[in-house]
Structure 1
Amino acid sequence: MALVRWEPFREIETLQRQMNRLFDEFLPATTENHKLTSFMPLAEMEETGEAIHLRLEVPGMDAKDLNVEVSADSVSISGERKSESKTEEKGMTRTEFRYGKFQRVIPLPSRIQNDKVTAEYKDGILNLTLPKAEEEKNRVVKVSLG
């Protein structure tokens, strides 16, 4: 029979890891699991010869709660999300609230005319049409072959 040295600090570290794992699974506000409570609008970008089309998904928000700022080379969207869900089943009512501010800055692949941007917000989707600057439309790049 071999003797095994008892190390109390190793036991404490094991217990701490197990407790951290338990809290990470059940408390969504922890920093490692922040994606459950924070909100970042999803974006889709399409570039054509004339403009950049940007679609942002911001469900459950009113247009008045959004702030969109456009510079010549980036788009910044910010706002505050206030969400409430309520379910009733078997005589029980469950209500959940989500609040929080968000901001997302999206760099653009080409310079745009930020004074001619158009926006449409419908069904939780924000559509931005960002016309390209004239010098970007006519830009031709020479490619060397050796």
Structure 2
Amino acid sequence: MTIVRYNPWAEMNALQRQIDRMFEDVQAPVYRTPAAELTETDDALHLRLELPGIEAKDVDIEVTENAVKVIAQRKSETKTEEEAKTRSEFYYGKYQRVIPLKARVKNTEVTAEYKDGILNLTLPKTVEEKNKVVKVNLEQN
């Protein structure tokens, strides 16, 4: 009879390898945030967002005086091939980003251009109202 030393870590390592192999085939997509670039001039803010592989009809833009919210969805192509395995690193799903703005903008005068997966927004700044000082007279009887 041979004596064998029991190693509990060997079983744990084997279990870890089995779990890793199981998740190699089915990987959950990672939530991604579109890259942004914000530049400021004297009269406007210019925002560029990178939205590769998304059509203009799948982009929703909401602008308030203090922030820009962009929601975009990249839809997957459905292909059916018999007995074929596809391994894809493309991301399909919803992109969402809220970008706070440094200056107040006129959200009714925003212009947008979308070309080659790059969204360009021009956000004109508002002329902030100066503090008005009003003199109040107190009536005496």
Structure 1 counterpart of 2:58, one-letter code: D
Structure 2 counterpart of 1:135, one-letter code: E
Larger-gyration structure (1/2): 2
The structure with higher relative contact order (CA 8 Å, sep 6+) is 2
Q: Distance in 1 between matches of 2:101 and 2:5?
A: 61
The answer to whether 1:127 aligns with 2:114 is: no
Of 40, 54, 59, the residue aligned with 1:47 is 40
Are residues 22 and 113 of structure 1, via their aligned partners in 2, closer, same or farther at CA, if it must alter by over 3 Å?
A: same
Structure having the higher strand fraction is 1
Q: In structure 1, the residue corresponding to 2:53 is in which secondary structure?
A: coil
Residue 6 of structure 1 aligns with which residue?
6
Q: In structure 1, the residue corresponding to 2:102 is in which secondary structure?
A: coil
Moved more, 114-123 or 12-21: 12-21
Q: In structure 2, the residue corresponding to 1:13 is in which secondary structure?
A: helix
TM-score by length of 2: 0.66
Q: Distance in 1 between matches of 2:64 and 2:39?
A: 18
Once the two structures are superposed, residues 65-123 of structure 1 have per-residue CA deviations (whole angstroms, 9 ceiling, x without a partner) of: 1100011111111122124499xxxxxxx797864222221122222221111111122
Q: Distance in 1 between matches of 2:110 and 2:87?
A: 39
Give the total of aligned pairs: 122
Residue 27 of structure 1 aligns with which residue?
26
RMSD: 3.5
The answer to whether 1:68 aligns with 2:61 is: yes
Shift of 1:4: 8.7
TM-score by length of 1: 0.64
Q: Distance in 1 between matches of 2:18 and 2:64?
A: 47
Q: Please list every run of 5 or more consecutive structure 2 residues that lacks an aligned counterpart in the other structure.
A: 80-85, 131-141
The answer to whether 1:104 aligns with 2:94 is: no
Query: Identity over aligned residues, as a percent?
Result: 49
Q: Does the CA contact (< 8 Å) of 1:46 and 1:53 recur in 2?
A: yes
Q: Distance in 1 between matches of 2:38 and 2:22?
A: 37
Residue 49 of structure 2 aligns with which residue?
56
Q: Please list every run of 5 or more consecutive structure 1 residues that lacks an aligned counterpart in the other structure.
A: 87-93, 139-146
Q: Does the CA contact (< 8 Å) of 1:44 and 1:56 recur in 2?
A: yes
Q: Distance in 2 between matches of 1:73 and 1:4?
A: 70
